[in-house]
Chain A
């Protein structure tokens, strides 16, 4: 049964990855649907929904710790395969690349944090686990910037940094309840219903 749910998770992760590629940035959608020049206004700051993050944190609640680590590794690999800036050394352009691996460590730490409230989820309390997903996404978004930019220079934050980070975090968190609901249904459908932990009432 666990193997079946693992397969389901792998399929869902792939779908999240491809769906994230399919979805344009918020500004592009808003401009396409309303005609409002939101790029000129700049309030969207090119924010977009990071579906991989929106999938990982709820999914980390539904699996055991080793399962979470496997999920973190797969998610981190997919993330870096598309998000990391890898540049070949080229003196002509005088460009610098950024490293891989930071996302994996971040997901390890944040996934471990999420696992701490897994007993609440198993007992049927969703509010705190879902609320915890929000700061976890924020740390991932800000951590991605910090990991790559601190390595290449100063600590100075660009104007609009916190606005973009906040909007991206909130947009990314929005699908998390739906993801958790669907995964919980997936658990039930595959016969892996999470057992209630002693000390917590449903």
Chain B
């Protein structure tokens, strides 16, 4: 082995150690800078994905119209197209109105955001949203949808942020069950981001705990990130282990179709809502 190779390896290892020993704060700043550089490309990719979806829908609709033209008159087809278009606009309008109404009704100051990148990491459950610190976001902010808890902000760039989803094993939330039997434990996601249907686990619970499936799981509110009783999911089943029990929890939020989310900026003062 040449001397230059040995010197190169020593230099490499020294630099690698220096990088690895930086504080989490410094690493987060580096990640924030990298996210800021990548943001225009993430947004561009997301826009192209949306255009591809729109194009595919157009192609599919055209094929359907062609089949209909074999059986129906042209005027009737046009009427159906117009009717369908109105229906889509009506549905979208109703969905946005519902989201807006939710934003107004909520006890928090909420910032609506759109998911622009899914499954960014191979082994972590993260998504990227189109809001950043220019919009008032900070690391640690909770992210929710009307149905329930989604996750938390872990990296913030000027106009984009990365959310660690509740379905990841690194995201843990103190929770309790709703009802007369008040069970308290930690809810966490699964390891590896590999399943099509992400389930959460709630544990450890007392040995031989029996809870009927369908019981709601809520946040405890400890730590003041959330007020108590925000939906996390529902109990699916109980698994008895040697010294404790663990509950499988179906998340309240639909993570497969996550599109519009709300970032909790801060809790509203009394009477503000």
Chain A residues within 8 Å of B, Cβ to Cβ? 17-19, 21-25, 27-29, 31-35, 39-42, 45-48, 50, 65-66, 69, 72-73, 76-78, 80-101, 104-105, 108, 141, 144-145, 148-149, 152-153, 156-161, 163-164, 168
12 pairs of residues in contact across A and B, judged by CB atoms under 8 Å: A21-B42, A33-B52, A35-B56, A42-B196, A46-B193, A48-B122, A65-B8, A66-B8, A87-B154, A92-B222, A104-B16, A108-B12
Q: Are B38 and A73 in contact (CB under 8 A)?
A: no
Chain B residues within 8 Å of A, Cβ to Cβ? 2, 4-5, 8-9, 11-13, 15-17, 19-20, 22, 24-25, 27-28, 30-31, 33-35, 37-38, 41-42, 44-46, 49-50, 52-53, 56-57, 60, 117-124, 126, 139-140, 152, 154-155, 164, 169-174, 186, 190-197, 222-225, 256
Task: Please judge, given known A-B contacts A78-B34, A158-B195, whether A97 and B24 are in contact too, CB under 8 Å.
Answer: yes
Chain B residue at minimal CB-CB distance from A111: B12
Q: Are A93 and B173 in contact (CB under 8 A)?
A: yes
Q: Are B223 and A92 in contact (CB under 8 A)?
A: yes
Closest 3 CB pairs of A and B: A42-B196, A101-B20, A92-B223
Q: Are B154 and A24 in contact (CB under 8 A)?
A: no
Q: Are B225 and A69 in contact (CB under 8 A)?
A: no
Q: How far is the CA of A144 from the CA of B170 in the complex (A)?
A: 15
Q: How far is the CA of A22 from the CA of B155 in the complex (A)?
A: 18
Q: Are B45 and A95 in contact (CB under 8 A)?
A: no
Q: Are A77 and B19 in contact (CB under 8 A)?
A: yes
Task: Please judge, given known A-B contacts A81-B31, A86-B27, A89-B24, whether A160 and B194 are in contact too, CB under 8 Å.
Answer: yes
